[in-house]
Amino acid sequence: MPSLDPVIWFFVLGIAAGVARADLRLPAAIYEFVSTLLLLAIGLKGGVELAREGSGGLPAAELVGVLALGFLLPLPVYAVARGLGRLGRADAASLAAHYGSVSVGTFAVVIGYLAARGIAYEGRAPVWVVLLEVPAIVAGILLARGRSAGVAWGRLLRELFLGRSIVLLLGGLAIGWAAGPEGTASIQPLFFDLFKGILALFLLEMGLIAAAQLPTLRRHGLFIVAFGLLAPPLLAVAGALLGRALGLSPGGMTVLATLAASASYIAAPAAIRTAVPEANPALSLTASLALTFPFNIIVGIPLYERLAFALAA
Amino acid sequence: MEQFPRRLLTVVTEAVLERELLAELDALGVRGYTITDARGKGGRGRRQSDWAQEGNIRIEIVCDAALAERVAARLRERYYDHYAMILFLQDVSVLRPDKF
């Protein structure tokens, strides 16, 4: 059993401090700053890799496959939430949107994990994050609403595509790609050398946030607990299989499996809150933050790595 | 110093609604407002301000009584069912009536 990456211990510290109600709170501005740095660093790293590979970007099959994954992942989630969980239509659709969409925090942990083990993955991986964020949210809203009126699609899509994570990831990718490895040397100390330290701070805050969600778990019953822990590995299989079909490296398959397993806690809650107001916002957010995020970063990622290497062999 | 009566409408609600509400206020003809981040406890549990998803905002609007009523009625009709929102109205005095 490999020892836990130190950044994960910061997450555990955050959870423990939160549960114990320790006097520990990072100001909101710090969280914003740290997550901005992470998003830019991830984008820049991907851009530099793209420039180094000198490739024209994303193969068309990959574009279609990853987008399709984003649209399709919500369907089994919705079916299970309706059937096994006996959730109402709005709550099931909300859960589907959260679990089809992705968590950039989980992505940051998996690329840190792979880098620490010296496992290579496709440099364009941050593009997958961008592709996977929005489709599931759209699918979730369609599941809740049908194609009926009442959803201000124009404004909603604008807000989704101009959300912080997409703007910063794509911005970072573009800057990294344009500047290339030499051009980004001057900003390397902040964005690349300090990546793990920034990630540690981010995870400390995520631990506090996850701990704050724990008390609400009891209200939601057994289904949501089981779902939050069992859905990720099953969704990961879909991601890993798509990765193999697209001919990705084992590292890339691990990343795609992790993305499929991850659940959104920023873009999806905000969009669903305004588009599907009758859904209980705490239900999906608690599952995503208090169960799935910790599961993925502590247990899930090493599991998905083994799955990817087993599939590649 | 002459003082003029106006109404102060205070709205405490979910931060996620901010953009939508501001568009609504503009459409209703509200000329100005003040927004602050807020935290507290209410019918929908304790709400923290350190996590944007869960935060609250407080919107204060000073305007004439008729407009305050219209805004309050609209918000109540549109948001009370599904969102954490409270409204309250107070009488206030202003010194520059043309501003409000």
- Render pLDDT for A216-249 as a digit per residue (tens, 0 to 9): 888 888 999 999 999 999 999 999 999 999 999 9
Instruction: Specify which residues B46 forms β-bridges with.
Output: B41
Mean pLDDT of A288-302: 96
pLDDT > 70: percent of chain A: 97
Q: Average model confidence (pLDDT) for chain A?
A: 92
Interatomic CA distance for residues A165 and A176, integer angstroms: 16
CA distances to A170, A277, A300, B14, B65 from B84, rounded to whole Å, are 34, 11, 35, 6, 24
Q: Is the dihedral of CA B89, B93, B97, B99 positive or negative?
A: negative
Residues in chain B, total = 100
Chain A hits for B52, CB-CB cut-off 8 Å, are 28, 32
pLDDT tens for A65-106 read: 999 999 999 999 999 999 999 999 999 999 999 999 999 999
Predicted ipTM?
Answer: 0.74
Tell whether the model's pLDDT for residue B30 goes beyond 90.
yes
Q: Hey, how many other C-beta atoms are within 10 angstroms of the C-beta on A241?
A: 17
CATH number reported for the structural domain that contains residue B12 in this entry: 3.30.70.120
Q: CA-based angle A113:A174:A265, to the nearest 5?
A: 50
Q: How far is A278 from chain B (nearest CA, A)?
A: 6
Cβ of B82 within 8 Å of Cβ of A277? The answer is: yes
- Looking at residue A17, its amino acid is A
- Mutation choice for A interface testing from B14, B26, B53, B85 by most A CBs within 10 A: B53
Look at residue B99 and tell me if it is in a domain.
Answer: no
Residue B100 included in any domain:
no
Domain of residue B11: give its range: 4-94
- Residues B89 and B6 sit within 8 Å (Cβ to Cβ): no
pLDDT category of residue B48 using cuts at 50, 70 and 90:
low
| DSSP character at residue A186 | G
Q: Which of the four pLDDT bands, split at 50, 70 and 90, describes residue B43?
A: low
Domain boundaries along the sequence of chain A: 6-17+25-312
Find, among A14, A4, A9, A7, the residue nearest to A206 by Cα.
A14
* Whole-number Å distance between alpha carbons of B25 and B33: 9
Report H helices in chain B: 18-28, 65-79
pTM score: 0.88
Chain A interface, Cβ < 8 Å to B: 25-28, 31-32, 159, 209, 212, 216, 265-266, 269-270, 273-274, 277-278, 285
On whether the A6-17+25-312 domain is CATH 1.20.1250.20, my answer is: no
Closest-CA residue in chain B for A269? B53
At A133 the pLDDT is: 93
Q: Which of A31, A265, A278 sits opposite B82 (nearest CB)?
A: A278
Task: Give me the phi and psi of B58, to 5 degrees please.
Answer: -120, 125
Counting the structural domains of chain B, the total is 1
Helix extents (H) in A54-124: 60-72, 74-83, 89-100, 104-116
